[in-house]
């Protein structure tokens, strides 16, 4: 994917800096939830399909950079591999730094504003003797999920912790359901 993205991003080298700026304005407006200030078809009339390809690549690159938390140095190195001039690299980095927090907030909120699981902890406990149980039922698993959700009121990420216990059978059911959900998502993804 990275090679295809690089091939598409190289197309920016054929654009004047003013056109590249307008394309970046559209890209960052879209990712922050604002309407595009410029019509894509009017940006570069001779080859609209190339502009659309570059626009899609810039959207993908920017979302990926924000999602993976890339800094200016890594971004600059990647753009230099695409043979971007210093002016185009600087322009992209300016837009990136100004809009990174808003884009991150938009990305966190994708998917019906549900919290995202960011970390998991687990421990195994064994019940040696209990007045409630007549027989040993195996280990008890203590699972802790750290979730992250964007809080629009405070305009920041909110971290919550969800903890639960389960026995071996319940844990196997959970794992089976998660694997089933992954297969279902992969099937939907391969159809589109």
Q: Structural domain of residue 42, as residue ranges?
A: 2-108
**Whether residues 136 and 89 fall in one domain:** no
Q: Are 36 and 52 in contact (CB under 8 A)?
A: no
Closest CA to 40 of 22, 60, 13: 22
What does the pLDDT profile of the chain (192 residues) look like in tens digits? 467 777 778 777 777 788 888 888 888 888 887 777 777 767 666 667 777 888 888 888 888 888 888 888 888 888 888 888 888 888 888 888 888 888 887 776 665 456 778 899 999 988 776 666 555 567 889 999 998 877 767 767 788 898 988 888 889 998 999 899 888 888 887 765
pLDDT at 96: 87
CB atoms within 10 A of CB 140: 16
pLDDT at 112: 47
- Provide the domain count of the chain: 2
**65 and 132 both lie in a single domain:** no
93 and 11 fall within a common domain: yes
Q: Which of 108, 125, 157 is the last residue of a domain?
A: 108
Compute CA distances 93 → 100, 103, 145, 164, whole Å: 10, 14, 35, 43
The domain boundary, picked from 108, 143, 173, lies at: 108
H and E: helices and strands count for the chain: 7, 3
């Amino acid at each position: 994917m990275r090679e295809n993205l690089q091939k598409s991003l190289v197309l920016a080298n054929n654009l004047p800096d003013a056109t590249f700026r307008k394309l970046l304005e559209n890209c960052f407006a879209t990712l922050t939830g604002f309407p595009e200030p410029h019509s894509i078809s009017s940006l570069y009339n001779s080859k609209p399909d190339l502009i659309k390809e570059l626009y899609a690549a810039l959207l993908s690159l920017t979302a990926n950079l924000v999602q993976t938390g890339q800094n200016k140095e890594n971004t600059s190195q990647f753009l230099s591999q695409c043979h971007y001039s210093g002016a185009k690299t600087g322009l992209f980095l300016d837009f990136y730094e100004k809009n990174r927090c808003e884009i991150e907030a938009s990305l966190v909120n994708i998917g019906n504003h549900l919290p995202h699981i960011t970390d998991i902890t687990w421990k195994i406990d064994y019940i040696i003797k209990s007045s409630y149980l007549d027989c040993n039922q195996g280990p008890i698993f203590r699972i802790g999920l750290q979730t992250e959700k964007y809080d629009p009121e405070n305009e920041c990420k909110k971290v919550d912790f969800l903890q639960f216990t389960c026995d071996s059978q319940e844990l196997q059911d959970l794992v089976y359901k998660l694997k089933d959900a992954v297969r279902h998502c992969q099937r939907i993804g391969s159809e589109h």
